[in-house]
Amino acid sequence: MGKRIGAGKRGRSPGRTAILLGAGALVTGVLAGCGTSSGLKINIYMSPEDNFQKVVDGCNVKAAGKYEIVYNKLPRGADDQRLQMARRLAAGDTAMDILGLDVTWVSEFAEAGWAEEWTGQNKAAASQGVLQGPLDTATHNGKLYAATKNTNVQLLWYDDRVTPKPPATWDEMMQKSQELKGQGKPYEIVFTGAQYEGLVVFYNTLVASMGGHILSDDGKSVVMDDGAVKALELLKKVSTSGLTDPSLSNMKEDDIRQAFQRGQAAFQLNWPYVYAAYAKDKKADLAHFKWAVYPAAQAGMPARTTIGGFDLAVSTYSQHKPEAFEAALCLRSPESQKISAINDGVPPSIESVYHNDVPLDPGKPASADNPNMASQYPMREAILAALKSAAVRPLTPAYQNASTVMSKILSPPSEIDPQATAAKLREQLGDALQSKGVIP
């Protein structure tokens, strides 16, 4: 039976503890992490995903009674998810077998000794056919500590009735936006400008697109080179140009999606989920909703967009590691990634899935009721192109500290003073890497 934990509340079951630790947590299934009279339970703890239970059910069928995978939904907020898992693992909780980790948490969990290294056949299976950028997010100090479940990458979204051709560079985009503003047409350039991780993702994209670095490749020291300063200059320039939304400094993903759908914006920089939302809300206009890779920050240098997504790790404290590795491999297999991509819109990390046009029910022809990747992912080539030149966020166990510092210093973007802001980032990121003065 899993070790019982709780903040001074000894004697609670792991399931009860999970509910108490995360306000709003929705926990499904049986939460015991040990064998029962009905068979062995393998517990996965992961963020809510509408149709992930279908993936779990499929893997349970394949397990053929060897074990039963139980999907325990973590709170919806990323910080709450990380905090709940970290607290339980710090207490040596044995009831957690598979951990659904945001791609920025793998280094932290590996460094803390909470994630098992993937080796041998498990490592080979978890690496086969995976795009390099997503695979890098599952690696720490050259070792694999997770299997990629899904990836994600932002695109440029536009309406071809407003802008028939997407801009190739930021200069082109701002020039076109200015022209549209003068014509009284939708003109805004919208992106995640609020003080949170979304602003860090956006800045990281600009830095990588300028050929710069925030931290060293090993994540142990601050760089903040010329490319990082040029990215600050561009962020300041667009934020003070009069071409963004007046509420930019409060805008998160869904705020900018709605601004575009309301007809305020000409250019939206956002994740692919916006396609499904647009198809639902503005079906009659869907044929004009277009996409492209991010515009280049410097002419002649392709943009490098920041990778998102989730990886699956096996807990160091799991009492059923062989079964947990096997179950994790099934949950992120090509077949499972296709189910998640089509049903929940999460981009696969395995390249072959993008080219698989077999519908969900292979015994029937593809249709609206039996979709395939071609019908649900018309933007798949743009996603693949973006992923092949994508950038990862700084890979450091102290990422949460670093992110907290960056989002605070970068906000609001309109008040950035490139050289002074870079100096402040150098100083405070240095402290953050040593966990000084930051409560993430």
Cα 122 to Cα 117: distance, rounded to the nearest angstrom: 10
Q: Please report which confidence band the pLDDT of residue 434 belongs to, taking 50, 70 and 90 as the band edges.
A: confident
**The tokens 């190739």 sit on which residue?**
168
Tokens found for residue 421: 């802001």
Give yes or no for residue 383 having a pLDDT over 60: yes
> So what's the pLDDT on residue 438?
54
Q: Output the pLDDT for position 437.
A: 62
Q: How confident is the model at residue 4 (pLDDT cuts 50, 70, 90)?
A: very low
98-143 per-position pLDDT tens digit: 999 999 999 999 999 999 999 999 999 999 999 999 999 999 999 9
For residue 302, count CB atoms less than 10 angstroms from its CB and return exposed for 0-12, middle for 13-18, buried for 19 or more: middle
Tokens (6 digits) for 357: 């046009």
What's domain 41-152+307-388's superfamily in CATH? Periplasmic binding protein-like II (3.40.190.10)
Rounded-to-integer distance, Cα 137 and Cα 219, Å: 13
Summarised one tens digit per residue, pLDDT across range 54-111 is 999 999 999 999 999 999 999 988 889 999 999 999 999 999 999 999 999 999 999 9
Strand order in the sheet with 147-153: 68-73, 41-46, 98-102, 307-314, 147-153
pLDDT at 376: 86
Residue/partner pairs of 250-255 with CB below 8 Å, 24 or more apart: 250/193, 250/194, 251/190, 251/191, 251/192, 251/193, 251/194, 252/192, 252/194, 252/196, 252/198, 253/192, 253/198, 255/194
217: confidence class by pLDDT, cuts 50, 70, 90: confident
CA–centroid distance for 135 within its chain: 13
Mean pLDDT of 380-389: 94
**Among residues of the chain, what percentage have pLDDT more than 90?**
82
Q: What tens digit of pLDDT does each residue of 10-52 get?
A: 233 333 333 333 333 333 333 434 444 458 999 999 999 999 9
Mean pLDDT of the region 140-164:
97
Tokens of 31: 């939460």
Which pair of tokens denotes residue 128? 């086969």
pTM: predicted TM-score of the whole model, two decimal places: 0.86
Rg (Cα) of the chain, in Å, rounded?
22
Rounded Cα–Cα distance for residues 93 and 84 (Å)? 11
Domain with CATH 3.40.190.10 in the chain: 41-152+307-388, 155-305+397-434
What superfamily would CATH give domain 155-305+397-434? Periplasmic binding protein-like II (3.40.190.10)
Q: What is the pLDDT of residue 76?
A: 85
